[in-house]
Amino acid sequence: MDTLAEPVTTALHYTDHDRELDLRWWAAANYLTVAQIYLQGNPLGRDPLSVADIKPRLLGHWGTSPGLSMIYTLLNRLIRDTGSDVIYVAGPGHGGPALLANVYLEGTYSEIYPNIAAGLDGLTALVRQFSTPGGGCPATSACRCRAASTRAGSSVTPSRTRPAPPSTTLI
């Protein structure tokens, strides 16, 4: 497509299997979003939940998160199925945990922050750092990931296959 006015001519073949995978991704992103907002330990719920597992100060908004994650999920499907170049612009607002959940799931966050790797230790570090005073990650879309931010908290996340352009501020 050379212009935005050109119609999409590629038919997407969205199978039941694709839908199941996307719904699983979306559920995982939603879970990680809630875990970042509420938990400081026991992120997989392997032990009975205790008061010590809950953050003393809850920040971040759940209300915008499922929608942000669904858009992220569907854009990833579009990228995989068509090879499209996509930039996802989200914000301003407190949807940061949803975006972080998705970049953590796809592995991009761990590329930038290897100490937040896949696995229980990395997951625990991810949920513990979100909205934690004194070095944690703020509740707005302002954590360091392959994204850009304005002062209002908007973020731009390029597709995983492209590094952030030099003019983009890493946040």
DSSP 36-84: HHHBSS-TT--S---GGGB-SS--S-STTHHHHHHHHHHHHHHHHHH--
Instruction: Using a pLDDT cut of 90, give the percent of the chain over it.
Output: 36
Q: What are the DSSP calls for 92-134, one per residue?
A: SSS-HHHHHHHHHHHTHHHHH-TTS-SSHHHHHHHHHHBT-TT
Q: What is the pLDDT of residues 95-138, one digit of tens each?
A: 888 989 999 999 988 898 888 998 899 999 999 888 766 556 65
CA 134 from centre of chain? 22
State yes or no: pLDDT of 19 exceeds 70. yes
93 pLDDT tier (thresholds 50, 70, 90): low
Say whether pLDDT at 74 is over 60: yes
How high is the pLDDT of residue 113?
86
Domains in the chain with CATH codes: 16-158 (3.40.50.970)
pLDDT, position 137: 67
Q: How far is CA 12 from CA 18, 78, 82, in A?
A: 11, 8, 8
Which pLDDT band, with edges at 50, 70 and 90, does 62 fall under? confident
> First-to-last CA distance in the chain?
31
What is residue 9's predicted lDDT score, i.e. its pLDDT? 60
Cβ–Cβ < 8 Å for 37, 60 = yes
What are residue 148's phi and psi, to 5 degrees? -120, 155
Nearest in space to 64 (alpha carbons), one of 89, 31, 32, 96? 96
Contacts of 51 (CB under 8 A, 6+ apart): none
Mean per-residue pLDDT over the chain, rounded: 76
pLDDT surpassing 80 at residue 21: yes
Q: Which whole number is the average pLDDT over 148-154?
A: 32
What whole-number distance in Å separates Cα of residue 98 and Cα of residue 73? 11
Residue among 65, 5, 13 at smallest CA distance from 36:
65
Starting at the edge strand that comes first in sequence, how are the strands of the sheet with 87-90 ordered? 87-90, 155-158, 148-149
